[in-house]
């Protein structure tokens, strides 16, 4: 890491206001590039599954530090997209359980769960005008879905294949297809009403 | 066994829409869909449901996403720290203590320490467990170099305007974004003019920084005292306006020490 030019370079870097890191290694650059590609998608998935924004941000940081270590140890590079979702999912389940426990202990947490923010977020005035009843209906249907079905939908919306979803949520391919089919059928029925 | 002539179930239509059918069945399904209006309409309806869901999903969640730059910067700092720690651990393990290695090791440790300081004095990122607010006592020069408006000394000294104008909320948001402050944290900061308008400071993002409310020593109250002092000195003709602007924008703490002739803020 600290090659021969690193030390003379150090003074220059410290004096520059931007200099918060040594020259990034190719691995670091790779992880940061992946982070840029994936962070919004991971965060949306976490928010949609009930994690508050702050926790979501922390989880995403943890995921990419874990990815850095994973790659540094020379572990498998196969399907890193599914890998990061899987780690984020596992961390969020752990965190979510902890939050739920806290919620039972604390009456006032001062923060609504993100589930509610997915569903009940006040739209801005323009949205409100455009906000059609069908969107509200869809939100209600989504809220009423079993947790596993909501997770499948969110992961699919983030572009994961059925196989990847199955890996993240530990489900069979067939179960993923059934879950998605069932949810979409419910949306369709709600539209017809 | 379904053939190309039998209608597709909703499940198969979804698999077809998602490109998840086995290759042989996909070809049959495609040729059936080409011929069958009923199945094609049904497939369109399923796609419509997908479209509606994705619009709602994105429409609700995208506005909640924080700006990416702050999180990226934090990740980079953490990776750099992790790498440096590992490098020094390895070096210790090998126990190669040549003078050069010692120097490098010291450099690495110094770097980690400085990095820690930089991360510490840069606004922290929200963490629910132990949401801590980092005191920011001085602005980041690259983000907030200070900007003066074209106002003369006479105009400033005649003016009876309140000392600090309120910074518009939109501009405040941009300042927080620039400094990577998000979530619940903005409440812990006050967006402050580096060069106060009473000294000719401009309403410009380059003249605004998030001053933390929790800084124990060099806080907003101390800076206010400096601003009053400089305003008086300038208006009494004892200090040049440009010098006052330069001193407060380059290092306001040093300016305080200079103009109050003290190393500690006065009580």
Let me know if B22 is exposed, middle or buried by CB neighbors in 10 A (0-12, 13-18, 19+): exposed
Angle (CA) A73 B80 A80, round 5° = 45
Residue B267 has pLDDT above 90, yes or no: no
Q: What is the mean pLDDT of residues B234-258?
A: 89
Percent of chain B scored above 90 by pLDDT?
22
Q: What is the mean pLDDT of residues B3-20?
A: 88
Q: What is the mean pLDDT of residues B187-202?
A: 82
**Interchain pair B54, A187: CB under 8 A:** no
pLDDT at A129: 45
Q: Which of A20, A25, A177 has the CB atom closest to B77's CB atom?
A: A20
- Helix residue ranges per DSSP H, B23-182: 23-35, 37-61, 68-94, 99-121, 153-158, 169-178
Q: What are phi and psi of B261, to 5 degrees?
A: 50, 55
Q: Nearest-CA neighbor of A52 among B183, B176, B125?
A: B183
Q: What is the DSSP letter of A125?
A: H
* pLDDT, tens digit, 9 for 90 and up, residues A115-130: 444 444 444 544 544 4
Q: What is the mean pLDDT of residues A27-47?
A: 93
Confidence of residue B104 (pLDDT cuts 50, 70, 90): low
| CA pair distance A76, A185, nearest whole angstrom | 38
Task: List CB contacts (< 8 A) between B127 and chain A.
Answer: 54, 58
Out of A135-144, A183-192, B16-25, give the one with best mean pLDDT. Answer: B16-25
Helix/strand/coil (H/E/C) assignment for every residue in B190-249: EEEECCCHHHCECCCHHHEEEEECCCCCCCHHHHHHHHHHHHHHHHCCCCCHHHHHHHHH
Residue B211: beta bridge partners?
B190
pLDDT at A165: 96
Q: Which of A83-97, B51-65, B105-119, B217-231 is predicted with the least confidence, judged by mean pLDDT?
A: B105-119
Six-digit token string for B134? 């980092």
Residue B87 has pLDDT above 70, yes or no: yes
Nearest CA in chain B to A187: B49
C-beta of residue A47 within 8 angstroms of C-beta of residue A2 = no
| CA pair distance B153, B198, nearest whole angstrom | 10
Sole residue written with tokens 């069979």: A172
| CA pair distance A167, A161, nearest whole angstrom | 10
Mean residue pLDDT of chain A comes to 78
Residue A47 has pLDDT above 50, yes or no: yes
pLDDT at B93: 55
Q: Which of B54, B83, B140 has the CB atom closest to A157's CB atom?
A: B54
Sole residue written with tokens 């297809």: A177
| CA pair distance B85, B108, nearest whole angstrom | 8
SS3 label, residue A52: coil
| CA pair distance B12, B21, nearest whole angstrom | 7
More confident residue, A124 or A4: A124
Helix B241-250 vs helix B252-260: crossing angle, to nearest 10: 120
ipTM above 0.85, yes or no: no
**Interchain pair B79, A68: CB under 8 A:** yes
pLDDT at A168: 95
pLDDT at B157: 84
Task: List CB contacts (< 8 A) between A20 and chain B.
Answer: 73, 76-77, 80, 115, 118-119
Q: What are phi and psi of B191, to 5 degrees?
A: -75, 120
Q: Which of B57, B58, B82, B110 to mutate to test the interface with A (most CBs of A within 10 A)?
A: B57
Q: Which of B71, B80, B140 has the CB atom closest to A17's CB atom?
A: B140
pLDDT at A20: 43
Q: Does B44 lie at the interface with A, CB-CB under 8 angstroms?
A: no
Nearest CA in chain A to B18: A161
Residue A190 has pLDDT above 70, yes or no: yes
Q: Nearest-CA neighbor of A182 among B130, B46, B225?
A: B46
C-beta of residue B9 within 8 angstroms of C-beta of residue B38 = no
Residue A108 has pLDDT above 60, yes or no: no
Q: Which of B57, B68, B182 has the CB atom closest to A48's CB atom?
A: B57
Q: Which of B29-33, B183-187, B198-202 is predicted with the least confidence, judged by mean pLDDT?
A: B183-187
Q: Does B145 lie at the interface with A, CB-CB under 8 angstroms?
A: no
In this structure, the dihedral spanned by the alpha carbons of residues A32, A38, A44 and A47, taken in order and rounded to 10 degrees, is -50
Q: Does B153 lie at the interface with A, CB-CB under 8 angstroms?
A: no
């Amino acid at each position: 890491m600290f090659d021969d030019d690193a030390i003379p370079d150090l003074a220059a870097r410290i004096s520059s206001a931007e200099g918060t890191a040594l020259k990034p290694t190719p691995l670091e650059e790779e992880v940061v590039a992946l982070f840029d590609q994936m962070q919004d998608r991971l965060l949306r998935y976490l928010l949609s599954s009930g994690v508050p924004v702050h926790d979501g941000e922390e989880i995403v940081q943890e995921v990419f530090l874990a990815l850095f270590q994973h790659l540094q140890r020379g572990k498998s590079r196969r399907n890193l997209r599914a890998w990061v979702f899987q780690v984020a999912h596992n961390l969020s389940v752990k965190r979510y359980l902890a939050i739920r426990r806290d919620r039972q202990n604390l009456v006032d947490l001062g923060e609504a769960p993100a589930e509610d923010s997915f569903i009940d977020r006040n739209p801005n005035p323009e949205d409100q005008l455009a906000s059609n009843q069908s969107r509200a209906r869809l939100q209600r249907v989504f809220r009423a879905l079993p947790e596993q079905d909501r997770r499948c939908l969110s992961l699919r919306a983030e572009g994961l294949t059925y196989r990847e979803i199955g890996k993240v949520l530990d489900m069979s391919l067939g179960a993923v297809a059934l879950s998605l089919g069932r949810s979409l059928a419910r949306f369709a029925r709600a539209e017809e009403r | 066994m379904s053939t190309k002539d039998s209608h597709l179930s909703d499940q198969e239509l979804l698999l077809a829409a998602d490109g998840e059918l086995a290759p042989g069945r996909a070809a049959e399904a495609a040729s059936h869909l080409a011929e069958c209006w009923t199945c094609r309409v049904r497939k369109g309806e399923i796609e419509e449901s997908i479209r509606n869901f994705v619009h709602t999903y994105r429409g609700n969640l995208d506005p909640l996403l924080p700006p990416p730059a702050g999180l990226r910067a934090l990740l980079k700092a953490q990776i750099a720290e992790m790498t440096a720690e590992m490098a020094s651990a390895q070096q210790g393990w090998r126990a190669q203590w040549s003078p050069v290695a010692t120097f490098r090791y010291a450099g690495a440790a110094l770097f980690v320490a400085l990095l820690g300081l930089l991360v510490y004095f840069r606004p922290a990122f929200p963490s629910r467990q132990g949401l801590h607010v980092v005191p920011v006592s001085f602005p980041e020069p690259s983000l907030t170099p200070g900007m003066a408006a074209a106002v003369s000394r006479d105009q400033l000294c005649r003016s009876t305007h309140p000392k600090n104008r309120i910074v518009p909320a939109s501009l405040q948001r941009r300042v927080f974004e620039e400094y990577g402050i998000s979530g619940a944290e903005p409440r812990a900061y006050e967006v402050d003019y580096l060069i106060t308008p009473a000294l000719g400071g401009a309403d410009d993002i380059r003249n605004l920084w998030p001053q933390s409310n929790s800084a124990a020593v060099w806080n907003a109250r101390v800076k206010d005292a400096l601003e009053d002092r400089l305003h008086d000195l300038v208006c009494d003709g004892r200090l040049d306006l440009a010098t006052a602007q330069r001193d407060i924008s380059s290092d306001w703490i040093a300016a305080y020490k200079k103009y109050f002739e003290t190393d500690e803020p006065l009580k």
